[in-house]
Structure 1
Amino acid sequence: MHYALNPRTFLYSHYFHLGLRFAIGLVAITLVTLQLSDSATAMAVCIGALCTALMDMPSPLRHKLNEMLASLLLCSAVTLLISLSGPTHWLLLTMLVLISFLASMMVVYGKKSMPLQLATLFIMTMSMEHNMTARQSFEHAALFMAGGLSYLAYSMAVSWCLRHRIKQQVLAEALFELAAYIDIKADFYDTRYQLSEQFNKLVRQQSLLADRQQASRDLILRSHQNRKDAIVVQVHVCMLDLYELILSTHTDYAQLRAHLADSPVLGALHDLAYKAARDIESVAYAVTRKRASYAAIGYAPEWQAIEAELQALQLRGAAGEATQEALAVLRAQRNKIRAILNMIGELHLASQEVYAATPFWSGADMAPFLSQQKYELTMLLSNLRLDSPVFRFALRVAMAISVGLLIGANLPYAAHSYWIVLTIIIILRPTFSMTRQRRSDRIIGTIIGCVLTALVIKFVSSTAVILTILFLATVATPTFIYLRYRYTAIAVSIMILLQMHLVAPDNAHLVTERLVDTFIGAAVATVFSFVLASWEYQSLPRLIRQVLDANLGYMQASFALLQGQSGNDFPYRIERKRLMDSLAALSSALVRMLDEPVGKQRSVEDINLFIVQNYLLVAHVAALRSILRRHEKAMPAAAVNAMLAHSHVQVCRTLSTALGAPPATAAPDAAPPADASGWSGWPLVQRRIRLLQADADKIVVHSAAIVQAI
């Protein structure tokens, strides 16, 4: 379950606070307008506030201002154009199709432009029923803009006052997702779960975790001047260090299961990981409540079980009953988990008080860690071609809306074309899988919302109670839009139908007409989801190449850090983030492809394995860093660096082969390193390097298979 759907944490999440801010602002602006004017004016102002509110998301204040202002100006222009075109039917239809196309082209600017596209098409749909003179059109647009400006001022004021609180909430969400990631890793020690299934779960959670960590970076690393911000920065940096340690815990789980299936040690390892996840959740929960976190979970029973099993394995190993390899794997896991638990302790400490010196990259340029969004016209123009997925999506939306308008104009009952068009807008997404999910959520949510609204209309006569239900539905609408869209669909249906009931209480067919219109819009969106569709397999070669290129850069930075050639780990962190982002993009594409028709799926197993092998390379590097730290005493630097240099050449050459490029390094083959078996970390380093090179070889095999299949 998502943390924000848990009753214990729901009220502290930024999702609920967004819904509350949205509802209070919308209702307050509408009520104030009603006190000063009539209901028609209040409705125009309310719609303006609503469209601006659709862009109200957790963002740095400057970005939030730009995003909401862009929505306000664009939507004001659209409502004016549609209102002016209303009296001329052919011109209205032309503008509807043209605006639908141009608004859908905006998704070329990425995920943050999706709400802007929705707001633009929403106000276009709401304005298409108007029949105004030119003067009335300008007056209506002015009222719309006044409502938008009112909400913009309100939202910016609230966000400024709560700017630190929002950082805490977004950071807490990243911590909760990290705990969920550990829960999945815990099940690797449970023989009831297949390893391949767990790897698939881990990869998908990794994609979600990367997204949440990036949201945390974007808010926290842009500004951190005061004491409160310093604590948030400390927790954020500690979370990233903890994440790297967790990556390093990847090991030969099959070997552990084979040798220790009947031993209680697997259960102890599972319980340790499970408790660690709960420990991280306790930090996240404290952060959401604006409190310091203190350790309250004990790990003594599990440690005793692991130590007892290690002693037993040593005795059996001496008698030849167990392999030394199994013993080494278990001992290594114990050491890594101990490091993780120590880091969780530091995570608690980071939430309690400001360090004398904040653990941060002083004076460093944070730009590589932050989302960079450029809204350039050239980017949009460069996608005006038939092979562009965005261009094809824009054509799909324009054609689907045209058909929806045509159907609405020819239905036998008093159809509401705007409801059909609105359903198409909401359901039809850039990818087939997103459209499929939205269609299901929209239909089920609308049915439930209509049934609940019918019950309210039939059995509730008190206007005060109806207004209370209306307010709760308004809160729920944005709260669940990124959590469970089905809940949002229910809330939206209740909100709009109750508003219509209050305005026209004698309409006996209010609910049934909306249901019919929803089914029609869903059918049109479903048909057009196959028209000029851009299937995920078509983007795979580009995504595979991005991963390989990022991994090559990551390996260069990693080995420079491991060999002590880099003064700090800043370049390494940048390259690691770039690799994780590219893997998250590929993982998301794979998940979407699995929702597409079977005939459009390509090389699913090889892509899965390719992603897993790339993650394993990151895990091996993290493990090498951990080993070198733990065994730093008496380390033969020359011999270790020689081995790392030799491995560096081999791995980079392998990845360059997969990329289809000349070898990434011009260095000649390094001579095999000298033996340093007297150093305690030598066999561990050797083993990790062997695994690193073996997984790099597998990446070449899987990437070649993917290219051949596509």
Structure 2
Amino acid sequence: MQATQLTPVALARRLPAHLVNGLSVGAGLASITTAVALAAGLPAALTVSSGAAVVSIADTVAPPQAKTQPMLMAALAAFAVALLVALCHGHHVLMGLAVLLITFSAILWTAWGKRGGTLTFTMILSLVFQMAAFDQGHLEGAAMWTHVGWVALGCAAMAGWSLASGRVLAPRYQSLAVADSLRALARLIEAQADWLATLPHRHIQGADPEGSLLPLVRQQATIADVLQQTRDLLYSDLTRPGARRWIPGFIGIVDVRDLVLACQVDLDQWPADTPVPEALLQWGREMKDLAAHLDRTAEAAARHLPWPTLPVARDIAHTPLSDVPLALNQTLLSLLRRHAQMRLGLQRLRDAVAVPDAQPLTLDTAVLQSMRSPVDWPLANLRAVLSWRSPVLRHAARTTAAMACAYLLAHSLPWTAHPQWMLMTVAVVLRGNLEQTLARRDARVIGTLAGCLLASLLLALQPNGWVVLAVLALALSIAHAYALVDYRITSMAGAVLALLQVHVAHGHMPSLAVLERLGDTLVGAGLAWGFSYLWPAWERHQLPQLVGRLLRAEARYAHHVMGQGVQSTLGERGSHARREVYDVVWLLTQSLQRMQKEPSSQRAHLGDLETVVVRSHRLTSQIAGVRGLLLARQAEFDPAHTLRLLGQADARMGALFGEVIPLPTGPTTPANEPQASPTPLAPMDDTGAEHAPITNTALLSTEHPQSSDSALSWLARRLRQAEVDAQALVQAARAFMA
């Protein structure tokens, strides 16, 4: 067994997706550089590598269909920058203007979000590399055009390599994405178990129940982002057998995610002054077991290991229930029944991902493909940011001003051999918000210091040219792989890359190159930090729009769930509405994190925003609970009575949200059903069979009462609580916007 684990294939299967992508980029750079070195010599190979390296930034973990346009645009953008630098070189004023033009236009690519960000850094890095090339060499006349031609070859070669490798690696990316989704689901279950474990202490200490939910909300937002990345990889080409193998299991992950959130519905009902029974704490420990099972399943998906079996449920049947108040019997019973559904869902999930072949799809392919992130590049995105209120335009103006200052300062300091280093530091450290700028500042300084030490140690060994080329490829691989994971590592690899390029260009390492690199990094990081306060786009200015978007998303999600009746699927619009809720919650949690680093004067509404996010989480959990109840007990519902209850709740919640925000299409009751009554639902009868003391043998049972009235009573209770949570969310939103 040990020998099997140490084979190259087994070790490769341990690599995460970002390292696989980074090594693919490094292999491409090494292959292109080696081929050109053998055919045209080492100087030409280094020039080709400068073009290939910058284009490789656009090579990300993405489906092949989504790579074509970004790679072609990256190649054209890098070539255009190289041509502009070549034409302006030798004229400080023209070069300064070119730096400003390139910087401003590069930042505008972020109008298209993360996919545009790769093109931003493609242009910035191309600017830095070409300034270095023209400063270090005598490139005039024919030599200049030859240099530009080699750069163009490198750009085209890397674009071709990325498109080809993307198709080869697509199945691997898909299996790793499913593994990441399983791990994210495990972390969500663990977060809920941790929240439950601290419940007795919170009841004793009287802690704020909403504040204690924030870690769980953040984990919910995190899994939403991971699931969307997996959708993009799996749903891009539904004709591929590899994708069709994983899709049923991935849909199972999404369903279990909703069950986990629905459990919070019952946990929130536990009164603060009521002791937590041992049965509930035991259930929390079993949740930990299920999270560990998901981690093992993720390892099996990523490393092609035998699929683990679902662990046997803990013996909660012998846990005494004498400490459970009679009035809370139905809450505990609902929670444990939902847990039984979760175990059933995990078993189905395991059975689905364990199938080695493509499986038939139960959902329409058009619905699945509509769930992908956009891959087009509409000009409307650019027009939308051409306003002084736009954070993108402010960031572009702020970065351009900082680069102008850095360009002037770089030519005024005692050391002026590599002015592009300071420009590079300013460009990568200065982000669109203060929190990311501070994080990048620290990571850049720490990484550069470590990289300078590594480069000095390596060059002290006096490696030959081929070793240096290999290290350059490896450094690029590491820098590329960790750019969005840990920028300290990327900065360290970037420092090694820069210093080795200086060594190759001069044939030796200049005595002050390391100190110059450190000095430029410190000065550039300080400039970026200072300019981050120029024309800032504080989070509080963008939040009212996001909160309104959240309310609209919650209203649509509730409308589609209640409008589906007892149908088994949400449909395309319902699925989009649910995803929109999770997307906006993720954006709001990111805003919460960024606001923590902003000046205290800009954090006046931080507590109100936390309340909005937590109450949105509760409402989303309630809606998921309603949907889960409709699906699990659909055979017990009387269709006419069920639609009447759902229609009434739908109308009231629509009216509630409509008081705060305009809804494009208000929730409606089916035409053939009774119209919603303005009177509230009658209270549930607490003397019925639902409130009889539960027995230990019912704790993990999936059996449900077969009475239609009983099912409707449970549904009425869920709908009433959903309305209460919707009202609480609306009140929190009003307080925030006041």
1:98 aligned residue: 101
What letter matches 1:575 in structure 2? A
Asked if 2 retains the 8 angstrom alpha-carbon contact of 1:174 and 1:216, the reply is yes
Query: Aligned residues: percent identity?
Result: 24
Cα gap change, 1:283 to 1:506, in 2 (>3 Å): closer
Cα gap change, 1:198 to 1:499, in 2 (>3 Å): farther
Asked if 2 retains the 8 angstrom alpha-carbon contact of 1:283 and 1:347, the reply is no
Give how far 1:355 is off. Answer: 8.4
Asked if 2 retains the 8 angstrom alpha-carbon contact of 1:292 and 1:348, the reply is no
What letter matches 2:733 in structure 1? S
1:485 aligned residue: 487
Gaps of 5+ in 2: 1-9, 670-674, 689-706
1:694 aligned residue: 724
Matches for 1:4-23 after TM superposition, within 5 Å: 11-23=14-26
**Matched position secondary structure for 1:658:** coil
The alignment covers a number of residue pairs equal to 688
**Cα deviation 1:483-512 (Å, max 9, x = unaligned):** 111111112212322343354424222211
Given candidates 63, 74, 88, the residue that maps to 2:77 is 74
**Cα deviation 1:31-67 (Å, max 9, x = unaligned):** 2222222333112100111011110012221321211
Cα gap change, 1:696 to 1:568, in 2 (>3 Å): closer
Asked if 1 retains the 8 angstrom alpha-carbon contact of 2:51 and 2:153, the reply is yes
Cα gap change, 1:29 to 1:9, in 2 (>3 Å): closer
**Matched position secondary structure for 1:595:** coil
Cα gap change, 1:426 to 1:276, in 2 (>3 Å): same
Given candidates 522, 527, 533, the residue that maps to 1:524 is 527
Cα gap change, 1:276 to 1:467, in 2 (>3 Å): same
2:541 aligned residue: 538
Given candidates 278, 284, 293, the residue that maps to 2:292 is 278
Cα gap change, 1:227 to 1:63, in 2 (>3 Å): closer
1:562 aligned residue: 565
Q: In terms of mean alpha carbon deviation, does 696-705 or 354-363 score higher?
A: 354-363
**Matched position secondary structure for 1:331:** helix
**Matched position secondary structure for 1:298:** coil
Give how far 1:354 is off. Answer: 6.7
**Cα deviation 1:76-134 (Å, max 9, x = unaligned):** 01110111111322211111111111111111111111111011011112223416335
Give how far 1:135 is off. Answer: 3.7
Given candidates 125, 128, 131, the residue that maps to 2:128 is 125
Asked if 2 retains the 8 angstrom alpha-carbon contact of 1:272 and 1:299, the reply is no
1:580 aligned residue: 582
**Matched position secondary structure for 1:360:** coil
2:166 aligned residue: 159
Matches for 1:337-416 after TM superposition, within 5 Å: 337-353=339-355, 358-416=360-418
Matches for 1:149-548 after TM superposition, within 5 Å: 149-191=156-198, 195-253=209-267, 256=270, 261=275, 263-290=277-304, 293-295=307-309, 297-300=310-313, 302=314, 304-305=315-316, 307-309=317-319, 312-313=320-321, 316=322, 322-353=324-355, 358-458=360-460, 460-463=461-464, 470-503=472-505, 504-548=507-551
What letter matches 1:220 in structure 2? L
Asked if 2 retains the 8 angstrom alpha-carbon contact of 1:642 and 1:673, the reply is no
What letter matches 2:76 in structure 1? L
**Matched position secondary structure for 1:128:** helix
Give how far 1:539 is off. Answer: 0.5
**Matched position secondary structure for 1:562:** coil
d(CA) in 2 for partners of 1:366 and 1:637? 28
What letter matches 1:298 in structure 2? P
Cα gap change, 1:664 to 1:8, in 2 (>3 Å): farther
Asked if 2 retains the 8 angstrom alpha-carbon contact of 1:656 and 1:662, the reply is no
Q: TM-score, normalised by structure 2?
A: 0.87
**Matched position secondary structure for 2:710:** coil
Asked if 1 retains the 8 angstrom alpha-carbon contact of 2:33 and 2:45, the reply is yes
Gaps of 5+ in 1: 1-6
**Cα deviation 1:379-424 (Å, max 9, x = unaligned):** 3244333222111111111111110011111111344210000001
d(CA) in 2 for partners of 1:93 and 1:178? 50
Asked if 2 retains the 8 angstrom alpha-carbon contact of 1:203 and 1:611, the reply is yes
Q: TM-score, normalised by structure 1?
A: 0.90
d(CA) in 2 for partners of 1:558 and 1:292? 38
Give how far 1:198 is off. Answer: 4.4
**Cα deviation 1:573-610 (Å, max 9, x = unaligned):** 22111222222222222222222222212311221121
d(CA) in 2 for partners of 1:209 and 1:617? 18
Asked if 1 retains the 8 angstrom alpha-carbon contact of 2:555 and 2:654, the reply is yes
**Matched position secondary structure for 2:584:** helix
2:602 aligned residue: 600
Cα gap change, 1:37 to 1:654, in 2 (>3 Å): same
Asked if 2 retains the 8 angstrom alpha-carbon contact of 1:84 and 1:134, the reply is no
1:3 aligned residue: none
**Cα deviation 1:554-573 (Å, max 9, x = unaligned):** 12111111365x98644322
**Matched position secondary structure for 2:58:** coil
Given candidates 111, 117, 140, the residue that maps to 2:147 is 140
- The alignment yields a C-alpha RMSD, in angstroms, of 2.7
d(CA) in 2 for partners of 1:383 and 1:111? 15
Asked if 2 retains the 8 angstrom alpha-carbon contact of 1:293 and 1:349, the reply is no
Asked if 1 retains the 8 angstrom alpha-carbon contact of 2:63 and 2:166, the reply is no
Q: In terms of mean alpha carbon deviation, does 665-674 or 336-345 score higher?
A: 665-674
Cα gap change, 1:261 to 1:475, in 2 (>3 Å): farther
Asked if 1 retains the 8 angstrom alpha-carbon contact of 2:66 and 2:375, the reply is no
d(CA) in 1 for partners of 2:469 and 2:393? 43
